[in-house]
Chain A
């Protein structure tokens, strides 16, 4: 079984081509064989096989469901009852929750099989998966120009992206605070959607920045993204920021005509793009024009302020959200302390990695007395302006925005060493705006870079809870890009 999608898995299971247990065992073996990619932090073989057996039994009894028997991976940010959940941090390295996150519970309810928990940047803070306490993970791809250099899948959902791109699962859950689904999707040639804030419950998802965090799927196809997002999302009274909105069956809108739809091209996203970036946008534009869309040039003047605002709001919330990991309760506790203060300081200094500490310090600083108005309050004002900008200058004129997802294609480990934290933060420049505004956005593969033949994605952004339009447009682009054939040109390790 090569490169199964959710749709093809369901078909195969239905036709009796294979059982869930068979493919689950296949995946477990493949995971074992590809340990060097470090896609998983925890593989839960026994649980996976049990879940697969249950799914097979249900299917034998004539039951069906949208994910019944489909082996997937879960980002290690989602609490899974009885399965270690680390957020890729030393401080939670031994934590086993006694509860299930709503997103994973929804997937269980729809029959999904969990293969394990995937690698990620520590507490989802990073754009390359290198901040993980469990080490980086690697794409199975190589640059044509540097075939020996291992490439990272981006982050923070790097393990999920690697697992899907390397065919170590059918699909995976991920989370996106500033681009953590879309950037790895773009680097790995996958479909990744960050839904509207409030569509997927945050209950049981380890918090990074509560007002920005959203769960979403990383899949091989737009159709899979539709199936899995429908399965993951729900209104959840246990999350006060969850919205009681019913999105339609997203699969049913795929293939619908997009003729007459207005696609906005915000000029601020196109400045300083490299040639590959310009080409991919132009190509996407042409596909959409061919499908009968009207391309409208627009301007979103608040765009340059999104990244600075993001790097104030996100660390501020993180500094508070991560205060609970204090060495007192369920976390790592430093062996050396002689009083309470030392217990806190040593446990947190030893338990958190450098990037997490950097963000906690940044967040603590911007919330401090005397700085609150200069930083945090100003960032909130920018947030309000960005929301208004999208409303007044985008969605009053167009249905969907087309932008690049990332400024570059996947980078190598050795290249990361030459990047400053700010260089790394600039990876999020096209993705953070939608988190700040709470909008849905998807990265769809659109081609390969000219020189290195690495995957490139473009981003589709819509108004709140208008996931439908994104899926319609993405499906058209996926057909036009014919990425499945293009993929064969990628140099594999």
Chain B
């Protein structure tokens, strides 16, 4: 089903540039560490000195192959590097090495959930490997521009979707899914604030059953929120233009995150002729079956598969499973915790609830990673075990958890130290309940005369007398017996 705005269908394709996680650059041995001083990570090759030649970083190729499998694509056994020629000071050789004619991956897809909760397939046309350019800095000096070539030659994957996306929501979901996948397989760190995941959005509008409209390409969007904002603005702009009788021209636009608007960068007429041709310094990349199969076999379980497994194996709701598989380390953490439990069959759901609830809350509040927690994985399993074996109540568990997070102590130790173990002995509870009933003749009379909602009063008072440690179920059954006799 199409989402129409004023009768207009929105057509979006995304080109995502992901920095490939490698130690060194795509064609030189310069390091790729983020945040080095300007021009500290630059070799003779990176500056395009005469006679310097590219040597392909095979690790970057392996990462692209991995990504190809992760997006269900075809890994091409023969791909080739081409030169894209244009002049710019932060492009020292005067050409970017990319893959136009024979990309390394073709025809993949990612399934997303759209705003109506339906699953939707977004097809991916290709993934190609290319070099990043350097950085021009124009605002340090009035008369000069500065060039930083640390980024020049860093390996990127350009992941090009088909124009299958129909709303800003879908675009954001697609990018989220893609980011999750890339992080899962370790092909890209996906720190958008470091610029290692950037998106170009091709946006157009048309009426159903008519050809696609001219598209505007919005360049270099560096956050998922901005992607949504940029597309939303662009849709409104195009609809307004067309409905006021104007024509949309094919052009490149920039998104200004401060104003939330897009503006013209260059029109199609100004577009450069890149004069692509196969790079004669590099041989075609020919992949053996052996290499492809090895990488395929080493691929981790992908989130969609993991989610299905979590639902089946741990009896989780699809919603909870989705949350847990979003990051590989969270999913791993969850599984280790279940494994550490003394009764995994009974605790698996509760452990999920605890992770999604209490643990995530702490991580958010303290701005921590799951690996930074003060206590070992086994403790969260033990805590949930204590709930399930009725040693402590869920409420007391929160106190134990807070304590555990603060000083990293074992939950059992905390329960003993603070004497928090649940009171389940019916005799002790009956004794406390009897005292409460004796001290509350008025309430007892009202209860007896039919005001049964006062049952809760007796439960609360008994629990209070037991310092919150009474087992609620036992209290219930004891009071039912005492009050109804």
Set of chain A residues within 8 Å of B48, measured between Cβ atoms: 324, 329
Docked-complex contact A372 and B277, CB < 8 angstroms: yes
Q: Mark B31-74, 1 if CB is under 8 A from A, else 0.
A: 00000000000001001111111111000000000000000000
Interface pick from A67-75, A203-211, A416-424, A460-468: A203-211
Docked-complex contact A326 and B281, CB < 8 angstroms: no
Docked-complex contact B93 and A324, CB < 8 angstroms: yes
B451 proximal to A (CB < 8 A): no
Interface of B is mostly: loop
List CB contacts (< 8 Å) of A82-121 with chain B: 85, 87, 92, 95, 97-99, 101
Docked-complex contact A209 and B282, CB < 8 angstroms: no
A209-B280, A210-B280, A210-B281 known; A367 and B49 CB under 8 Å?
A: no
A1 proximal to B (CB < 8 A): no
Task: Tell me the bound Cα distance from A207 to B19 in angstroms.
Answer: 29
A95-B50, A97-B49 known; A240 and B56 CB under 8 Å?
A: yes
Set of chain B residues within 8 Å of A87, measured between Cβ atoms: 50
Interface pick from A33-41, A246-254, A315-323: A315-323
Using a CB–CB distance below 8 Å, which chain B residues touch chain A? 44, 47-56, 83, 85, 87, 89, 92-95, 147, 273, 275-277, 280-283
Task: Tell me the bound Cα distance from A95 to B49 in angstroms.
Answer: 10
Which of B89, B95, B277, B280 has a CB less than 8 Å from the CB of A323? B95
Set of chain B residues within 8 Å of A101, measured between Cβ atoms: 51
User: Which 3 residue pairs of A and B lie closest in terms of their CB atoms, listed nearest first?
Assistant: A323-B94, A211-B280, A367-B275
Set of chain B residues within 8 Å of A329, measured between Cβ atoms: 47-48, 92
A79-B50, A240-B56, A329-B47 known; A320 and B275 CB under 8 Å?
A: yes
Task: Tell me the bound Cα distance from A205 to B276 in angstroms.
Answer: 23
Set of chain B residues within 8 Å of A320, measured between Cβ atoms: 83, 85, 94-95, 275, 277
Task: Tell me the bound Cα distance from A350 to B277 in angstroms.
Answer: 27
User: Can you list 19 residue pairs at the A/B interface with Cβ under 8 Å?
Assistant: A79-B51, A87-B50, A92-B50, A98-B44, A203-B51, A204-B51, A204-B52, A207-B281, A239-B53, A240-B56, A241-B281, A319-B275, A320-B83, A320-B275, A324-B93, A329-B92, A364-B275, A367-B85, A367-B277
- B47 nearest in chain A by CB position: A329
Write the nearest CB–CB distance from A355 to chain B, whole angstroms: 18
A240-B54, A316-B277, A344-B87 known; A323 and B44 CB under 8 Å?
A: no
- A237 nearest in chain B by CB position: B55
Write the nearest CB–CB distance from B307 to chain A, whole angstroms: 42
Write the nearest CB–CB distance from A18 to chain B, whole angstroms: 34
Q: Mark A187-230, 1 if CB is under 8 A from B, else 0.
A: 00000000000000011111101110000000000000000000
Set of chain A residues within 8 Å of B55, measured between Cβ atoms: 237-238, 240
Docked-complex contact B53 and A202, CB < 8 angstroms: yes
List 15 extra interface pairs beyond A99-B49, A241-B283, A326-B87, CB under 8 A: A79-B51, A95-B50, A99-B52, A202-B53, A237-B55, A238-B53, A317-B277, A320-B85, A320-B275, A324-B48, A328-B89, A329-B47, A344-B87, A367-B85, A372-B277
Using a CB–CB distance below 8 Å, which chain A residues touch chain B? 78-79, 85, 87, 92, 95, 97-99, 101, 202-207, 209-211, 237-241, 316-317, 319-320, 323-324, 326, 328-330, 340, 344, 364, 367-369, 372, 376
- B277 nearest in chain A by CB position: A367
Write the nearest CB–CB distance from A103 to chain B, whole angstroms: 10
A329-B92, A368-B273 known; A240 and B53 CB under 8 Å?
A: yes
- B54 nearest in chain A by CB position: A240
Write the nearest CB–CB distance from A465 to chain B, whole angstroms: 16
A237-B55, A240-B53, A240-B55 known; A323 and B93 CB under 8 Å?
A: yes
Task: Tell me the bound Cα distance from A393 to B443 in angstroms.
Answer: 114
- B27 nearest in chain A by CB position: A240
Task: Tell me the bound Cα distance from A237 to B52 in angstroms.
Answer: 12
Set of chain B residues within 8 Å of A92, measured between Cβ atoms: 50
Which of A202, A237, A344 has a CB less than 8 Å from the CB of B51? A202
Write the nearest CB–CB distance from A87 to chain B, whole angstroms: 7
Task: Tell me the bound Cα distance from A206 to B53 in angstroms.
Answer: 10
Write the nearest CB–CB distance from A176 to chain B, whole angstroms: 16
Write the nearest CB–CB distance from B217 to chain A, whole angstroms: 18
Set of chain A residues within 8 Å of B276, measured between Cβ atoms: 367, 372
- A380 nearest in chain B by CB position: B278
Task: Tell me the bound Cα distance from A484 to B479 in angstroms.
Answer: 125
Docked-complex contact B49 and A330, CB < 8 angstroms: yes
Set of chain A residues within 8 Å of B273, measured between Cβ atoms: 368-369
- B48 nearest in chain A by CB position: A324
Task: Tell me the bound Cα distance from A92 to B273 in angstroms.
Answer: 27
- B86 nearest in chain A by CB position: A323
Docked-complex contact A205 and B51, CB < 8 angstroms: yes
Task: Tell me the bound Cα distance from A33 to B13 in angstroms.
Answer: 70
- B83 nearest in chain A by CB position: A320
Set of chain A residues within 8 Å of B49, measured between Cβ atoms: 79, 97-99, 330
- A324 nearest in chain B by CB position: B48
Write the nearest CB–CB distance from B4 to chain A, whole angstroms: 36
Set of chain A residues within 8 Å of B89, measured between Cβ atoms: 326, 328, 340
- A242 nearest in chain B by CB position: B53
Task: Tell me the bound Cα distance from A372 to B274 in angstroms.
Answer: 11
Set of chain A residues within 8 Å of B282, measured between Cβ atoms: 240-241
- A123 nearest in chain B by CB position: B50
A210-B280, A240-B281 known; A324 and B56 CB under 8 Å?
A: no
A99-B44, A368-B275, A372-B277 known; A323 and B53 CB under 8 Å?
A: no
- B283 nearest in chain A by CB position: A240
Write the nearest CB–CB distance from A222 to chain B, whole angstroms: 29
Task: Tell me the bound Cα distance from A206 to B51 in angstroms.
Answer: 4
Task: Tell me the bound Cα distance from A211 to B280 in angstroms.
Answer: 5
Task: Tell me the bound Cα distance from A251 to B47 in angstroms.
Answer: 40
Which of B50, B51, B93, B280 has a CB less than 8 Å from the CB of A317? B280
Task: Tell me the bound Cα distance from A238 to B95 in angstroms.
Answer: 20
Task: Tell me the bound Cα distance from A328 to B147 in angstroms.
Answer: 10
Set of chain A residues within 8 Å of B275, measured between Cβ atoms: 319-320, 364, 367-369, 372
Write the nearest CB–CB distance from A390 to chain B, whole angstroms: 20
Write the nearest CB–CB distance from A275 to chain B, whole angstroms: 40
Task: Tell me the bound Cα distance from A418 to B182 in angstroms.
Answer: 64
- B81 nearest in chain A by CB position: A240
Set of chain A residues within 8 Å of B52, measured between Cβ atoms: 99, 203-204
A240-B282, A372-B277 known; A207 and B51 CB under 8 Å?
A: yes
Task: Tell me the bound Cα distance from A87 to B49 in angstroms.
Answer: 13
Task: Tell me the bound Cα distance from A407 to B15 in angstroms.
Answer: 54
Set of chain A residues within 8 Å of B85, measured between Cβ atoms: 319-320, 323, 367
- A204 nearest in chain B by CB position: B51
The CB with the most chain B CB atoms within 10 A, among A92, A95, A202, A326, is that of A326
Write the nearest CB–CB distance from B93 to chain A, whole angstroms: 5
Docked-complex contact B277 and A376, CB < 8 angstroms: yes
Docked-complex contact B94 and A207, CB < 8 angstroms: no
Docked-complex contact A207 and B50, CB < 8 angstroms: yes
Write the nearest CB–CB distance from A476 to chain B, whole angstroms: 36
Write the nearest CB–CB distance from B277 to chain A, whole angstroms: 5
Task: Tell me the bound Cα distance from A344 to B91 in angstroms.
Answer: 13
Set of chain A residues within 8 Å of B283, measured between Cβ atoms: 240-241
